[in-house]
Structure 1
Amino acid sequence: MAAEFVPGALCRAAERGVQVNVTVDGFGARNFKIDFFSRLTVAGVRAMFYRPEIGRFHFKRHRLRRLHRKLVVIDARVAFIGGINVIDDNNAPLDMRPHYDYAVRVEGPVLRQVHHAVRRMWETVSWVNFKRRFRLAPVADPCCVAAGDQNAAFLIRDNIRHRNDILHAYLDAIDNAKHNILIANAYFLPGLRFGRALYAAAQRGVRITVLLQGKSDHQLFRYATQTLYATALAAGIRIFEYEKSFMHAKVAVIDGQWATVGSSNIDPFSLLLAKEANLVVRDAVFAGELEASLKHAMTIGARELLADELSRQPIHSRFLRWLAYGLVRAMVGIAGYSQRHWQVDETKPEER
């Protein structure tokens, strides 16, 4: 439904004179039909691909460097930030609920940063595609919007000046956690620094819960993630798998005060390669609402994994997990990152 309603709304806006600009990731939109974009352009929507796909089997290293941000800015007055794609759940069974995901509506001073990031991305893609005619219309400065009562920061990840902004925000919050950490992440395969920060928090008594996919549309990555389970459970980290539908969320709440919602997974592709965008909010009300939402989802749609369940799994399942992990590491290497940039912490808690 989203793949029909949202483009329809964009077309209607363009037809009434609104300048509508759409940038989509070439890899993520590789299956979009030509008539889909023809419909947009006929209505006056200006659409471009970020690194368009040449062919399904034409692999280049930069193919993994995706535009993974999910951002919308309207009239420089309101923005939406999150992990939600504008796509129908075509790969989900008919009786399954839609993807479980999050996005937030943003107003206030932080909007200026969001607006700047979206404009900069459009201008960059326009220049690369030699579409200089796609100039953006001037708009009022978003900073004129009155400030709210929440402390929020907009963070991006790119491959130039902001390589580690999202990672460092996570690490700082985890290092300062005193009571509890709740992470919901669709693709969870943290590197050494992130993993060790979590294990250190667990050792000092912080209660850590991780909500992951129970149903996955990318089985390779799910198997790779399962290589973490035994070590995490031994460290006292609770693991839940969401089974009610596909989970696409990328959110976290720490100590009921710090929260983040965005596009960045905690995996090598998001933290080392892709262009990402997250909102970090320091506010007890916002964090409390997000935490309550996550706990409700866990109650009605997730199950907890226990150590004895892992011990009963057959040898071939363990082999598949480590094979998947090796393939993911190989993909990271192909993209230009060596083992020193990212690897899972495989040591046992008592050995650290």
Structure 2
Amino acid sequence: MNVFHPASEDRPSLAEARTAICVPRLGDARGAFQLFVEGDVLFDAMIAAIEQATEAISMESYIFAADEVGARFVAALAAKARAGLDVRVHLDAFGAGQRKFGKFRRELEQGGVQFRWFRPLDMRHPLRYFQRNHRKLLVVDGRTAFLGGFNIRRLNSRRLHGPARQRDTHLRVLGPLAALATRHFDRLWHDARPLPASAIPEEAEGIEGLLVPSYSRHCQKRLACLHAGLIDMAQSEVYLTSPYFGPGSVVDRALQVAARRGVDVRLLVPRKSDPLVAGWATRAAYGQLLSAGVRIYEYLPRPLHAKTSVVDAAWSIVGSANLDYRSLFVNQELVLVARDHVLAGKLQAQYVTDLAAAREITLADWHRRGWRARLFEAVGWAARRLL
């Protein structure tokens, strides 16, 4: 990856350089992406896609709960494996590895599903356990793929969990992007190195979007650079939703710079975070963001788990990555980036809906917080790279 230094007038600024390197040159898409914001609707669509599969199914998830939702997926996947399809399930050993999952695993394997844990604890390589597979991906026949923030669990279901269900966002993509999703799945399945550069073309005119992993051979900080690059190029607005936000990151600094030059920058985060220390780390970023002119909102009615970005009502990012240290620099993640006014419009409309259920935190509010809040923020700041 080339390195630029902002110095003399004949050199590009750091922001211009980052935008040129890290933001793909995408053509305008035409609304080919289906957006999901309700778990029941998404789960029904995913199960229907599994039931209609004729060749192969690949699925990975950070959390795959041993509950009613998980049971639906286990039954559907096992049925397809028994029918002779190539069915593979790759789950994170930390996020999905609860003791109750043993019954589900036996049902999957007895049905003929190929099953793997992503990086179970190995005392010979204990540090590898620190990196988790945080992706949520389902690929059917290499032609349809679902990705985003939804895990497989009843917490996302209004039918099962009620009005307090978790708020999240997911997408369905088709065609070449689904084929690329299969390659991303295969790479982790075989614990292989990053995809070759040709799998993520730098010149992408005419491509409706790109599936971008945590890192590539060109850049070990691909997601951080992508977010910061899009923020750098913003002219009118940047609307971000993230359950967790990492203070002191390149994304944090890009938001402050954009707000100072007059861009309408807004950040939506949950009022309550799980774990609590992650929320303390997020709030440790509030002071500098608010001072720079960033508007911060805390979502009130239910848990917030969506990870979305909309820039200038044209560019969108949707996927599994939070805007914190672990997602941007450690975990395995996958996002879609697209220049699609239809998708951006839908995400922006949802953003307005979410803000109506949120409370804005002003700089005056922030200055009035007590000593306990300040202490918790200090703890969060210290722990920000471990969360």
TM-score band, normalised by the shorter chain? 0.7 to 0.9
Instruction: Give, in angstroms, the shift of residue 185 of structure 1.
Output: 0.5
Indicate yes or no: 2:381 matched with 1:318.
no
Partner residue of 1:45 out of 89, 113, 117: 113
2:180: which partner in 1? 113
Aligned residue among 126, 130, 134 for 1:68:
134
TM-score scaled to structure 1, two decimals? Answer: 0.80
Is the Cα–Cα contact under 8 Å of residues 159 and 275 in structure 1 kept in the other structure?
no
Q: Given residue 51 of structure 1, which amino acid in structure 2 is its aligned partner?
A: R
The count of residues paired between Structure 1 and Structure 2 equals 306
1:183-194 correspondence to structure 2 within 5 Å: 183-194=240-251
Q: Secondary structure at the match of 2:74?
A: helix
Kept after mapping to 2: 8 A contact 1:184/1:250:
yes
Mapped partners of 1:305, 1:236: distance in 2: 12
Find the residue that maps to 1:20 and give its secondary structure.
strand
State how far apart, in whole Å, the 2-side matches of 1:59 and 1:246 are. Answer: 34
Residues 333-344 of structure 1 mapped to structure 2, 5 A cutoff: none
Higher mean C-alpha deviation, range 27-36 or range 149-158: 149-158
Question: For each residue in 1:124-148, what CA deviation from the matched residue of structure 2 results, as whole angstroms up to 9, or x when unmatched?
Answer: 38xxxxxxxxxxxxxxxxxxxxxxx
Distance 2:179 2:140 in 1: 12
Q: How does 1:194-209 map to 2 (within 5 A)?
A: 194-209=251-266
Question: For 2:154, which of 82, 85, 88 is the aligned residue?
Answer: 88
Task: Report SS of the residue matched to 2:209.
Answer: strand
| 2:384 match: secondary structure | helix
Deviation at 1:31, TM superposition (A): 1.4
- Which residue, 341, 364, 375 being the options, matches 1:308? 364
Equivalent residue number for residue 350 of structure 1: none
Match of 1:135 in 2: none
Whole-Å separation in 1 of the counterparts to 2:341 and 2:132: 33
SS at match of 1:62: helix
> Displacement of 1:120 after TM fit?
2.0
Tell me the equivalent position of 1:339.
none
Q: 1:142 aligns to what?
A: none
SS at 1:89 equivalent: helix
Q: 1:251–1:262: 8 Å Cα contact kept in structure 2?
A: yes
- 8 Å Cα contact 2:245/2:281 also seen in 1: no
Q: Give the secondary structure class of the aligned counterpart of 2:347.
A: helix
Residue 151 of structure 2 aligns to a residue whose secondary structure is: coil
User: What is the rounded CA distance, in whole Å, between the counterparts of 2:216 and 2:378 in structure 1?
Assistant: 29
Q: Tell me which residue corresponds to 1:139.
A: none
Whether the aligned pair in 1 keeps the contact of 2:255 and 2:289 (CA below 8 Å) is no
CA shift in 2, pair 1:158/1:66, >3 Å: farther
**What secondary structure is seen at the aligned counterpart in 1 of 2:338?**
strand
CA contact (8 A) 1:191 1:268 kept: no
TM-score, scaled relative to structure 2? 0.73
Q: Mind listing any 5+ residue stretches in structure 2 that lack a counterpart?
A: 1-67, 193-205
Moved more, 114-123 or 170-179: 114-123
**What residue number does 1:2 align with?**
69
Structure 1 269/44 Cα, relative in aligned 2: closer, same or farther at 3 Å?
same
Residues 1:14 and 1:294: Cα distance change in structure 2 (over 3 Å): same
Q: Distance in 2 between matches of 1:21 and 1:96?
A: 33
Percent identity over the alignment is 32
Contact 2:284 2:380 in 1 (8 A): no
Q: CA RMSD, aligned part only?
A: 2.6
Instruction: Say if 1:328 and 1:195 are closer, same or farther in 2 by CA, change over 3 A.
Output: closer
Q: Aligned to 1:151, what secondary structure does the other structure show?
A: coil
Shift of 1:53: 3.5
Per the TM alignment, residue 313 of structure 1 is displaced from its structure 2 partner at its CA by 2.0
Report if the CA contact (8 A) 2:280-2:381 is conserved.
Answer: yes
After superposition, what is the alpha-carbon deviation per residue over 1:275-296, rounded to whole angstroms, capped at 9, x for unaligned? 1100001011111111111211
> Partners in 1 of 2:190 and 2:98 — Cα distance?
25
- Equivalent in the alignment of 2:96: 29
SS of 2:146 mapped into structure 1: strand
Tell which deviates more after alignment, 290-299 or 247-256: 290-299
SS at match of 1:110: helix
Counterpart of 1:117 in 2: which secondary structure?
A: helix
Contact 2:120 2:129 in 1 (8 A): no
Q: 1:227 to 1:83 in 2, by over 3 A?
A: same
> Which residue, out of 332, 339, 363, partners 1:275?
332
Can you list the C-alpha shifts for 1:158-211, whole angstroms capped at 9, x where unaligned? 486652222222122111100000000111114442222111111110000101
The equivalent residue for 2:290 is: 233
Question: Structure 1 unaligned runs (5+)?
Answer: 126-148, 333-352
Counterpart of 1:302, as a letter, is A
CA contact 2:143–2:179 (8 Å) conserved in 1: no
User: What are the Cα deviations for residues 95-139 of structure 1, in whole angstroms up to 9, with x where unaligned?
Assistant: 6522111111111222232111112222238xxxxxxxxxxxxxx
1:298-321 superposed Cα distances (whole Å, 9 cap, x missing partner):
21x322112232222221221111
d(CA) in 1 for partners of 2:190 and 2:383? 35
| 1:218–1:184 CA distance, 2 compared to 1 (3 A) | same
**Paired residue for 1:169?**
226
**Cα displacement (A) at 1:16:** 2.0
- Report what 2:280 is aligned to: 223
Q: Counterparts of 2:257 and 2:90 in 1: how far apart (Å)?
A: 40
SS in 1 for 2:97: coil
Secondary structure (helix, strand or coil) at the match of 2:258 reads helix
Quick one: structure 1 residues 158 and 81, their matched pair in 2 at CA, closer, same or farther if it must change by over 3 Å?
Answer: same
